[in-house]
């Protein structure tokens, strides 16, 4: 990772996402201040950040660049250039937080939310100086995944977007920019469109959850390591894609209602690893080692992607045979 010039950032929210973002910034040379009101979260934050810092090869200096705070008042606001909010996805909570952050931060500081589904315009509705706001959505796990989606609001300045892009690229991230504020951005809109169709197949008894996971992973999922869906259509022929679309699109689920496969589990409290059961059962102690193996595998996949994207070397010129 290329070291960024010395800057100071404030991360509001010290959960896994906040800890990972803090590690990314600290590994790039930033001074990072994380605010987290929950005592247990604050106590566990250094170890969670260290895992990410070790992966990023931040050395001994990395952990020293992160400071943890209980309240917003103790952050060094005169030095903070970049504020990233990573609190739970509750609109009222975020709105109240940003009204306070605007009063605390310097006029020149950029205020960013890491929301994955809420609208930037809704979150920042109470902020007066909207030229300095942006949505900065890190993919998970943030210390491994290279992508960050950047969304501008109707009044976000070009200078704000340029600064955010420059900072994140210095930190080794790949940025994509959305010209308008839409729920879910690119990644989550595409994922939810796919999942709506997958859950609909389950609701109709056409396929099992396990077969859907296998079909996506070993069908088209693994191809995306080397090629995005748009370029992949070129490889397969747009004519073939067009003809298939004419047959398939009219049959796709376009209902605004959440499919039963998902909604019924949420109503039953089967919400995933935190309770030991979601679509799959998670025995006690299974999640942590699975997550570690998952993130380690993603790191290896990223190495393959970078190798694939690297410019191909020109073949070496054949050696001339020595005359006898």
Tokens 């025995």 -> residue: 283
Kindly state the average pLDDT of the residues 221-248. 95
- DSSP alpha helices (H): ranges in 76-119? 91-104
Residue where one domain finishes, among candidates 139, 160, 178: 178
Residue 315 pLDDT class (50, 70, 90 cuts): low
Q: Structural domain of residue 288, as residue ranges?
A: 269-307
- The reply to whether 104 and 143 lie within a common domain is yes
Q: Is 66 left (phi over 0), alpha (psi -120 to 50) or beta?
A: beta
pLDDT tens by residue, 55-93: 999 999 999 999 999 999 999 999 999 999 999 999 999
Residue 164 in any domain: the answer is yes
Residue 317 in any domain: the answer is no
Residue 250 pLDDT class (50, 70, 90 cuts): very high
- The reply to whether 43 and 59 lie within a common domain is yes
Residue where one domain finishes, among candidates 143, 178, 213: 178
pLDDT-above-90 percentage for the chain: 93
- The reply to whether 74 and 133 lie within a common domain is yes
Residue 167 in any domain: the answer is yes
Number of domains in the chain: 3
- The reply to whether 72 and 198 lie within a common domain is no
- The reply to whether 66 and 14 lie within a common domain is yes
- The reply to whether 163 and 85 lie within a common domain is yes
- The reply to whether 156 and 222 lie within a common domain is no
Residue where one domain finishes, among candidates 146, 178, 210: 178
pLDDT tens by residue, 274-303: 999 999 999 989 999 999 999 999 999 999
C-alpha distances out from residue 100 to 32, 97, 103, 124, 126, Å: 19, 5, 5, 11, 10
- The reply to whether 203 and 80 lie within a common domain is no
C-alpha distances out from residue 201 to 212, 229, 284, Å: 9, 21, 30
Q: How high is the pLDDT of residue 311?
A: 77
- The reply to whether 51 and 147 lie within a common domain is yes
Q: How high is the pLDDT of residue 6?
A: 74
Residue 319 has pLDDT above 70, yes or no: no
Residue 315 in any domain: the answer is no
> Whose CA is closest to 70, among 38, 95, 40?
38
- The reply to whether 22 and 105 lie within a common domain is yes
């Amino acid at each position: 990772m290329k070291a960024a010039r010395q800057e100071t950032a404030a991360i509001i929210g010290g959960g896994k996402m906040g800890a990972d973002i803090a590690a990314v910034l600290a590994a790039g040379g930033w001074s990072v201040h994380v605010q987290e009101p929950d005592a247990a979260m604050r106590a566990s934050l250094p170890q969670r950040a260290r895992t990410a810092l070790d992966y990023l090869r931040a050395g001994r200096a990395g952990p020293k660049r992160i400071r943890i705070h209980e309240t917003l008042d103790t952050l060094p606001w005169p030095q903070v250039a970049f504020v990233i909010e990573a609190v739970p996805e509750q609109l009222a909570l975020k709105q109240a937080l940003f009204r306070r952050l605007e009063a605390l931060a310097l006029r020149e500081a950029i205020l960013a939310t890491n929301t994955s589904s809420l609208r930037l315009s809704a979150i920042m509705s109470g902020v007066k100086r909207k030229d300095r706001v942006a949505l900065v959505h890190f993919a998970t796990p943030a210390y491994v995944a290279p992508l960050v989606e950047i969304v501008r609001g109707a009044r976000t300045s070009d200078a704000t977007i340029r600064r955010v892009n420059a900072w994140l690229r210095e930190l080794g991230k790949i940025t994509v920019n959305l010209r308008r504020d839409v729920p879910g951005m690119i990644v989550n809109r595409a994922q939810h469109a796919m999942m709506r169709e997958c859950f609909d197949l389950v609701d109709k008894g056409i396929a099992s959850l396990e077969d859907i996971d296998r079909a996506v992973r070993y069908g088209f999922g693994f191809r995306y390591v080397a090629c995005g869906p748009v370029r992949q259509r070129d490889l397969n022929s747009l004519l073939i894609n067009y003809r298939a679309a004419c047959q398939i699109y009219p049959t796709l689920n376009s209902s605004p209602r959440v499919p039963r496969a998902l909604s019924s589990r949420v109503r039953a409290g089967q919400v995933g690893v935190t309770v030991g059961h979601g679509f799959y059962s998670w025995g006690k102690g299974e999640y942590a080692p699975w997550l570690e193996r998952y993130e380690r595998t993603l790191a290896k996949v990223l190495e393959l992607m970078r190798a694939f994207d690297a410019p191909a070397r020109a073949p070496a010129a054949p050696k001339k045979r020595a005359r006898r």
